[in-house]
Structure 1
Amino acid sequence: MILPRYLTRIFLGWTAAVLLGLVALLQLLDLLDKASELLQRGSLTDIGRYALLRLPTMLGQLVSLAVLVGAILTFRRLAGTLEITALRTLGLGAWRILGAMLPACVLAVALQAALLLAVAPRTERALADWWDGKEVAEGQPIPLAQQLWLRNGAEIVSVESASLDGRSLAGILLVRRDAEGRALERIDARRAIHGPEGWRLLQLRLVRPDGTRPQFLAELAWAEGPSPEAIRDLARPTAAQPLDRLLAGQRGEGAVTRGPAFYATRMQAVAATMIAPFVMLLLAMPSAFGLPRQADGYRRGGIGLALGLGYLVVNGLLNAMGEAGGLESHLAAWTAPLVFALVGLLRLWHEEA
């Protein structure tokens, strides 16, 4: 028990220092990029609020990289003080040392999961609403950067403007279809308002493909309309998505703007992300070999760092391909973790041989 506690304390200390350093650097670069716009929109308080709301996303995205660099620094420190040599002399191989550091990786995984799945979706939504609505009256539809197209059950919906709470829409195109996908009617509405009784379409034109003349109505109930929360999230999407939204999208439930491949890949990628810290630790382990004054130790650390960065790049590219439907979701999410884990195992086996 003494060895795991000792290694965990050193490893977590280096990892926390690296994580805070990386986040501070990225926060500084981000604030320098946004400072003029933030000062025009508000004051120094707004800069602090912006940085605070961005913090959980940055922390969650950098945990795996911090584990990689923290592990390399930990192993180089242990090699530099000959503690690795002493442990190996006592019969403790690399696998025992690696196993002693796994509890720290479990903590890193828990932190990453909490940030990316629970905290970041809320802070990103709060940031988007605050940023877009700082000078907008409550309930006023805001023109979207691009027209929103979504599927709501059998309906196809297009929206040009939406309020921050998703309860007021403008420029609505609604196509109702049957179970086989044939259009039943097309509705062009100037406004839509969500109240206690649900959606009401205002100032609309209704056209049916049976050849009858268009109908012009002042108001029409839209009972099947998507929830205001779904409109809010789809009109101004954030990078971090809560787990329930991903699950609903994968099942095709509710309003969605993406195909099944996107949500299936995202779900697989979330699961694969949970093993990323373990892969990083495995890639960093060979840096523990070598004596303090030998250049091979630093070379091993450099190779581990390059492999870890390569893993992040390749994984991101494969996930993007999967979300676009160009690659099966399981392959897109799991190829990089499994391949780089195998590379780490082979390197470690070579060092132990």
Structure 2
Amino acid sequence: MDEQTTRRGEKQPESPALKTQSPAPTHVLLRYLSGVLFSRVMFSCAILVGLMEILALLEQTTPILQRHLGVSGILTYAGMRLPFLMAGALPLGVLIGALVMLTQMTLASEMAILQASGLSMWGLYKRLIPATLIIGVMGVVLDDQVTPRSEQALAAWWNRTDPHPENGHAFWFHEGGRIGRVQYVADGGNMLSGLDLYTRTPDGLLHKAMHADRADYTHAHGWQLHAISGIQVDGNKPTRLPVENRYRVADNAASVGFHPSFG
């Protein structure tokens, strides 16, 4: 037998090409399916939000232009309104995006290929969990953190840019044993006009009624009431309180039950 002939059963040396070949990447299917679902959901949400933004601007563009806010006012309104619309469109976007993804994969025979390769439906669902969790966290953050702040900022901006806040509607509020009425709000919630405060006893009877022509809020001094008048009831005897030009209610708005900005 020739010496160059390899012996039967002897292990052949690996070729350099096999040594340098990298192993197959892992989690490719996981990244692909989650990425496709996430992109389809975001695309569906973008379309829904765009349609709702157009409808909202059709209603609000005229008032914005009447306030001489121009294009910057329109963009400001659209930007502050965006988180609220996104939070509302996200659940429907998930449904539409998932249907679009599954339909496209079925038409492209990807579902048949995955099933032929041994992937079960449960395995398909497991590979969609990362995208679902990311979308769920986004929805929670939008609803709990972003949307309330943006709506509050939008309400304050809308009130602050109102050239005729006196045309606003009056409203009532209460906190503990106090009841209040405000004729209208101006300066983004930092000025209240026609403020009436009623203090009740633990039995629910009227103890004090106070009226102020105006209330201004500053971070340094809290709420300050101007042109104050009122009465105090002790038993069955009402007593008129002395008129004051200025009165500091509290160092912070929370102690009187209302806040400088509103939503």
- TM-score, structure 2 length as denominator? 0.75
Does the 8 Å contact 2:181/2:197 carry over to 1? yes
Query: How far 1:203 moved relative to its partner?
Result: 2.3
- Contact 2:230–2:241 (Cα < 8 Å) also in 1: yes
Match of 1:281 in 2: none
Kept in 2: contact 1:174–1:186 (CA 8 A): yes
Alignment-derived partner of residue 169 in structure 1: 192
Unaligned runs of 5+ in 2: 1-26
In 2, Cα distance between equivalents of 1:87 and 1:185: 75
2:79 counterpart residue number: 52
After superposition, what is the alpha-carbon deviation per residue over 1:256-293, rounded to whole angstroms, capped at 9, x for unaligned?
xxxxxxxxxxxxxxxxxxxxxxxxxxxxxxxxxxxxxx
* Aligned residue among 222, 235, 251 for 1:210: 235
Which position in structure 2 is the counterpart of 1:183?
206
Distance change >3 Å, CA 121–CA 59, structure 1 → 2: same
Cα deviation, 1:214-250, whole Å, max 9, x if unaligned, reads 414222553498449943344xx2xxxxxxxxxxxxx
In the other structure, the counterpart of 2:4 is: none
Q: Secondary structure at 1:179's aligned position in 2?
A: coil
Sequence identity, in percent?
26
Q: Residue type matched to 1:58 in 2?
A: L
Alpha-carbon offset, residue 172 of structure 1 = 2.2
- The Cα of 1:62 is off from its aligned counterpart by 0.8
Count of residue pairs brought into register by the alignment: 231
Partner of 2:119, secondary structure, is coil
Supply the distance in 2 between the matched residues of 1:221 and 1:41 (Cα, whole angstroms).
33
Residues in 1 aligned to 2:41 and 2:174: alpha-carbon distance in whole angstroms: 43
Whether the 8 Å CA contact 1:157–1:172 is kept in 2: the answer is yes
Listed as ranges, the matches of 1:280-319 within 5 Å are none
The correspondence of residues 193-204 of structure 1 with structure 2, limited to 5 A, is 193-194=216-217, 196-201=220-225, 202-204=227-229
Rg bigger for which structure? 2
> Aligned partners of 1:225, 1:49: CA distance in 2, in Å?
29
- Cα 1:149/1:229, change in 2 over 3 Å: closer
Partners of 1:45 and 1:198 in 2: CA distance: 32
1:107 matched to which residue of 2? 134
Contact map agreement 1:144 1:162 (CA 8 A) in 2:
no
Q: What is aligned with 1:157?
A: 180
- Which structure is richer in relative contact order (CA contacts within 8 A, separation 6 or more)? 1
Question: Which one of 18, 28, 41 corresponds to residue 54 of structure 2?
Answer: 28
CA contact (8 A) 1:18 1:70 kept: yes
Gaps spanning 5+ residues in structure 1: where? 238-353
Q: 1:193 to 1:55 in 2, by over 3 A?
A: closer
- The secondary structure found in structure 2 opposite 1:78 is helix
Q: Does 1:82 align with 2:105?
A: no
Instruction: Specify which structure has the higher proportion of helix.
Output: 1
Deviation at 1:149, TM superposition (A): 1.6
Once the two structures are superposed, what CA deviation does each residue of 1:37-89 show, in whole Å capped at 9, x if it has no partner?
32222322322222222222211211111111000011111222222223233
Question: Residues 229 and 51 of structure 1: is their aligned pair in 2 closer, same or farther, counting only changes over 3 Å?
Answer: farther
Shift of 1:159: 1.6
The separation in 2 between residues aligned to 1:47 and 1:18, in whole angstroms, is: 24
Match of 1:8 among 20, 26, 34: 34
